[in-house]
C-alpha cells in the first residue's frame, strides 16, 4: 500500500494530498499494539505534497514521541461537552487527558486539529461546549491548530432502535429530529444554526484566522453560520488545503487539491 501511495504522490507532484485516518475507527487506540504510527509518520515526513491526520479520543501518543515527522502529521482529537462525555462515553479518556496528549504532541512539533462532531443538544449545551473551548485554548497554542470541524448529531433512522436497545440510559434518541434530504435524522435547522453560530463566534474571538468548517451541512446552513458557502471560496477541499499551506507551510507550490482516506 505504501509503495502504491508513493507512486501516486510522485506522479502528481502539483497535487496536495490530505490523507485522513480515523473515519471508521480510532487512529491510535490500537497503536500501542500495532505500532502503525511508527510506519506512517516517518513515511509522510518525506512527502513534500502530503500530510497525514491521526484522529483519536485516546491518549495513546507515546509512539509519536521520538518520530521524525518533519511537520507533516496532524494529531487530532474528537471533543464533546463534559456532560455528554460523562453520560455517553464514560470509558473514553477524559477531556483533560486528551488536552494533555495534545499538548504532548504540540511540544514535539506536531500540528493539531479538533473535531466537535457530534454536537449534541441538551439544556446547558452553551455552557458545556463553551467551557470545552475555553479549556482547549488554555491547553494548547491556537497557532498550532490547523483546522477545527463542527457537526451536529445525525443518524440513519434505523440507528434509533439500536441506540435504545444497546444504551437504554442514553437520552440522545429523544431529541428534536427531522429527516433531512439525505435521509438522515437531523436536529431541526434552527437548533443546528444556533449550535454553529455560538461555536464560531467563540472560536473567532480567540483566533479569527483559524479554519473552521461544518461537516455534512448544506450551503444554506453555511451561509447562516459563516456568511458564505464553501463554493464561494473554491470548495471545502480548497479551504482545508489553504489551512494546511498557511499553518503548516506545506504544499506552497501545489496548484491542485485532493483528499483521500487511508483506511
pLDDT in tens, 132-171: 999 999 999 999 999 999 999 999 999 999 999 999 989 8
Task: Report the distance separating Cα 71 and Cα 257, nearest Å.
Answer: 19
Question: In the structure, what pLDDT confidence band is assigned to residue 24 with cuts at 50, 70 and 90?
Answer: confident
**Number of domains forming the structure of the chain:** 1
The three three-digit cell numbers of residue 128, written as one number? 458545556
Give tens-digit pLDDT for 78-118. Answer: 999 999 999 999 999 999 999 999 999 999 999 999 999 99
- Using the CB atoms, write b or e for 6-21: b if 16+ within 10 Å: eeebeeeeebbbbbbb
Structural domain boundaries enclosing 233: 2-261
CATH code for position 88:
3.80.30.30
Instruction: Please state the pTM of the whole predicted model.
Output: 0.93
Amino acid at each position: 500500500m505504501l509503495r502504491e501511495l508513493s507512486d501516486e504522490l510522485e506522479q502528481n507532484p502539483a497535487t496536495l494530498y490530505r490523507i485522513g485516518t480515523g473515519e471508521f475507527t480510532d487512529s491510535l487506540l490500537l497503536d500501542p499494539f500495532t505500532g502503525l504510527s511508527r510506519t506512517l509518520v516517518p513515511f509522510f515526513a518525506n512527502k513534500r505534497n502530503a500530510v497525514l491526520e491521526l484522529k483519536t479520543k485516546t491518549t495513546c501518543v507515546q509512539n509519536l514521541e521520538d518520530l521524525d515527522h518533519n511537520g507533516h502529521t496532524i494529531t487530532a482529537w474528537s471533543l464533546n461537552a463534559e456532560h455528554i462525555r460523562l453520560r455517553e462515553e464514560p470509558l473514553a479518556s477524559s477531556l483533560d487527558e486528551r488536552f494533555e496528549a495534545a499538548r504532548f504532541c504540540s511540544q514535539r512539533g506536531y500540528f493539531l486539529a479538533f473535531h466537535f462532531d457530534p454536537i449534541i443538544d441538551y439544556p446547558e449545551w452553551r455552557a458545556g461546549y463553551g467551557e470545552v473551548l475555553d479549556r482547549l485554548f488554555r491547553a494548547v497554542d491556537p497557532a498550532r491548530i490547523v483546522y477545527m470541524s463542527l457537526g451536529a448529531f445525525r443518524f440513519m433512522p434505523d440507528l434509533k432502535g439500536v441506540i435504545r436497545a444497546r444504551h437504554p440510559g442514553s437520552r440522545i434518541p429523544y431529541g428534536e429530529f427531522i429527516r433531512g434530504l439525505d435521509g438522515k435524522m437531523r436536529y431541526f435547522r434552527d437548533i443546528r444554526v444556533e449550535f454553529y453560530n455560538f461555536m464560531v463566534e467563540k472560536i473567532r474571538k480567540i483566533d479569527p484566522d483559524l479554519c473552521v468548517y461544518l461537516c455534512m451541512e448544506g450551503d444554506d446552513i453555511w451561509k447562516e453560520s459563516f456568511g458564505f458557502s464553501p463554493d464561494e471560496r473554491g470548495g471545502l477541499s480548497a479551504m482545508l488545503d489553504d489551512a494546511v499551506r498557511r499553518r503548516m507551510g506545506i504544499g506552497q507550490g501545489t496548484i491542485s487539491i485532493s483528499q483521500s482516506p487511508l483506511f
